């Protein structure tokens, strides 16, 4: 089975051809980071325009890199939710037109389900059920992956996502957008115990996250230091922030795993590229004798292969869309 996957939910225009669920034949990503960097974050209008300009070329290249034509493809899979609405609409309408013109089935894919599927692309033996921590720029979720197409969200962020916390703190420290990777790099030579940062408490669901208090604490610390004419060591603050976020994500995931009886844990989303999150979660799983899975680094950020992979499982489950498919900016995994 050959699936073409198309992704345009944020600032990456991406397309990929995946064979038999887990074999990546091609993966083309056109990133807009350099352009959004000037504004310190993604400008939705610019993102939509760049997707319009790039999507045809990216898709053509994905097909040619895979050595196939549209005629060889079994279905066109596309991210329809969640994300920036104007950005999503470009991919959805392009995929609809392509599927209709080529007479191929159209498969809708939830972006978070796509991130989870990066683990299938990395680990040939991984099968549901398992518990997955998904941390990205827009989401921080603990999800029960019941089977390939059924999910149950057991914990979510009440405010900012983990990636947003990395990025906003990075910006306050003077790193360019998106700052998560710069914090990661700076943390390598910093002291994670240099600053005591808050672990925000969350009332109610014990598996939910809150990152806005941590973000505010870091930003306030930097402002106060600036007002007093003091300088804060960016490497130490980065290391302390990274350690705190890694601990929060890991603690909640371990809590949920124990309460729900999961011994198989996975990590996904853009923040899964973070060295601290990877090593802290891996160590916690090892300590408890849990199996642990994480995507290879090049699959952590948004890409088309994750959409094609999840699309192939949706295809098997008979999840198809017609020309009425619309993009949805906010859609919980529980609703798909
Ligand atoms: O999944 P993704 O590419 O886009 C969304 O779906 O949101 O995630 C992007 C997020 C950004 O917040 C980015 O800073 C963060 O992932 N990120 C990292 C690292 N690499 C990417 N955060 C911390 N450390 C990293 N190495
Ligand atoms: Zn993403």
* 3-state secondary structure (DSSP) of residue 107: strand
- Provide the token pair at 5: 């996957």
Query: Is the pTM above the cut of 0.85?
Result: yes
Q: DSSP per residue over 11-33, as a string? A: SEEEEEEEETTTEEEEEEEEE-H
60-119 pLDDT, tens digit each: 999 999 999 999 999 999 999 999 999 999 999 999 999 999 999 999 999 999 999 999
Mutate to test the pocket of ligand 1, among 301, 329, 330, 331 (most ligand atoms within 8 A of CB): 301
pLDDT at residue 95 in the model: 98
| Mean pLDDT of the residues in the chain | 97
Kindly indicate the confidence band of residue 228, based on its pLDDT and cuts at 50, 70 and 90. Answer: very high
Centre of ligand 2 to C-alpha 105, Å, is 24
Centre of ligand 1 to C-alpha 271, Å, is 4
* Nearest ligand by distance to the CA of 275: 1
Q: Is 181 in the pocket of ligand 1 (CB under 6 A)?
A: yes
Q: Which residues pair with 141 in a beta bridge?
A: 134, 156
Whether the per-residue pLDDT at 33 is higher than 90: the answer is no
Give the mean model confidence (pLDDT) for residues 185-202. 95
Kindly indicate the confidence band of residue 254, based on its pLDDT and cuts at 50, 70 and 90. Answer: very high
Whether the per-residue pLDDT at 178 is higher than 90: the answer is yes
Give the mean model confidence (pLDDT) for residues 13-38. 95
Mutate to test the pocket of ligand 1, among 171, 269, 270 (most ligand atoms within 8 A of CB): 270
Q: Which residues pair with 143 in a beta bridge?
A: 132, 153
Lowest mean pLDDT among 28-42, 100-114, 254-268, 276-290: 28-42
pLDDT at residue 187 in the model: 98
- Rounded CA-CA distance 263/130 in Å is 7
**Taking the alpha carbons of 29, 316, 86, 212 in that order, is the dihedral positive or negative?**
negative
pLDDT at residue 2 in the model: 98
Q: Is 269 in the pocket of ligand 1 (CB under 6 A)?
A: yes
Torsion angle defined by CA atoms of residues 231, 233, 239 and 244, in that order, rounded to the nearest 10 degrees: -20
Of 38 and 302, the one with more pLDDT = 302
Torsion angle defined by CA atoms of residues 311, 315, 320 and 323, in that order, rounded to the nearest 10 degrees: 60
Kindly indicate the confidence band of residue 201, based on its pLDDT and cuts at 50, 70 and 90. Answer: confident
Whether the per-residue pLDDT at 336 is higher than 90: the answer is no
**Taking the alpha carbons of 304, 306, 310, 312 in that order, is the dihedral positive or negative?**
positive
Of the candidates 201, 200, 142, 137, the one whose C-alpha atom is nearest the C-alpha of residue 170 is 137
pLDDT at residue 77 in the model: 98
The structural domains of the chain, ordered by start, are 2-116+299-335 (3.30.420.40), 128-295 (3.30.420.40)
Kindly indicate the confidence band of residue 334, based on its pLDDT and cuts at 50, 70 and 90. Answer: confident
Kind plus residue range of the DSSP H or E element containing 66: helix 44-66
First to last CA, the chain: 23
- Rounded CA-CA distance 257/252 in Å is 9
- Rounded CA-CA distance 196/317 in Å is 48
pLDDT at residue 82 in the model: 97
Whether the per-residue pLDDT at 40 is higher than 90: the answer is no
**Long-range contacts: 327-330, Cβ < 8 Å, 24+?**
327/80, 327/81, 327/83, 327/85, 327/88, 327/89, 327/91, 327/92, 328/80, 328/81, 328/82, 328/88, 329/81, 329/82, 329/83, 329/84, 329/85, 329/88, 330/81, 330/82
Q: Is 29 in the pocket of ligand 1 (CB under 6 A)?
A: no
Helices (H) and strands (E) in the chain, counts: 10, 10
Whether the per-residue pLDDT at 54 is higher than 90: the answer is yes
Who contacts 293 (Cβ-Cβ below 8 Å, separation ≥6)?
A: 119, 122, 123, 126, 130, 264, 265, 266, 267
- Provide the token pair at 84: 């920036």
Distance of CA 97 to CAs 14, 90, 271, Å? 17, 11, 33
pLDDT at residue 88 in the model: 98
Whether the per-residue pLDDT at 176 is higher than 90: the answer is yes
């Amino acid at each position: 089975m050959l699936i073409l996957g198309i992704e345009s939910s944020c600032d990456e225009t991406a397309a990929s051809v995946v064979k038999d669920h887990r074999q990546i034949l091609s993966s083309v990503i056109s990133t807009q980071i350099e352009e959004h960097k000037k504004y310190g974050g993604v400008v939705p209008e610019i993102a939509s325009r760049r997707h319009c300009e790039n999507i045809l070329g990216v898709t053509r290249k994905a097909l040619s890199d895979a050595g196939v034509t549209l005629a060889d493809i079994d279905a066109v899979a596309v991210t329809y939710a969640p994300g920036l609405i104007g950005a999503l609409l470009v991919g959805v309408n392009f995929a609809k037109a392509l599927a209709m013109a080529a007479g191929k089935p159209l498969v809708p894919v939830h972006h978070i389900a796509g991130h989870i599927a990066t683990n299938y692309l990395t680990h040939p033996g991984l099968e549901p059920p398992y518990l997955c921590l998904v941390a990205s720029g827009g989401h921080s979720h603990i999800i029960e992956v019941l089977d390939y197409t059924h999910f149950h969200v057991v914990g979510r962020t009440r405010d900012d996502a983990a990636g947003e916390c990395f990025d906003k703190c990075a910006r306050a420290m003077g790193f360019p957008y998106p700052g998560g990777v710069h914090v990661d790099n700076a943390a390598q030579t910093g002291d994670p115990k240099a600053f005591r940062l808050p672990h925000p408490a969350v009332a109610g669901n014990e598996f939910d996250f809150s990152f806005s208090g941590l973000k505010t604490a870091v930003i306030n610390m930097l402002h106060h230091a600036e007002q007093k004419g003091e300088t804060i060591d960016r490497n130490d603050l980065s290391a302390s922030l990274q350690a705190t976020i890694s601990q929060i994500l890991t603690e909640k995931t371990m809590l949920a795993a124990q309460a729900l009886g999961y011994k198989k844990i996975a990590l996904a989303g853009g923040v899964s590229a973070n060295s601290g999150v990877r090593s802290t979660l891996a160590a916690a799983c090892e300590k408890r004798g849990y199996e642990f899975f994480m995507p290879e680094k090049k699959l952590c950020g948004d890409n088309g292969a994750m959409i094609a992979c999840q699309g192939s499982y949706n295809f098997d489950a008979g999840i198809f869309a017609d020309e009425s498919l619309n993009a949805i900016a906010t859609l919980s995994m529980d609703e798909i």
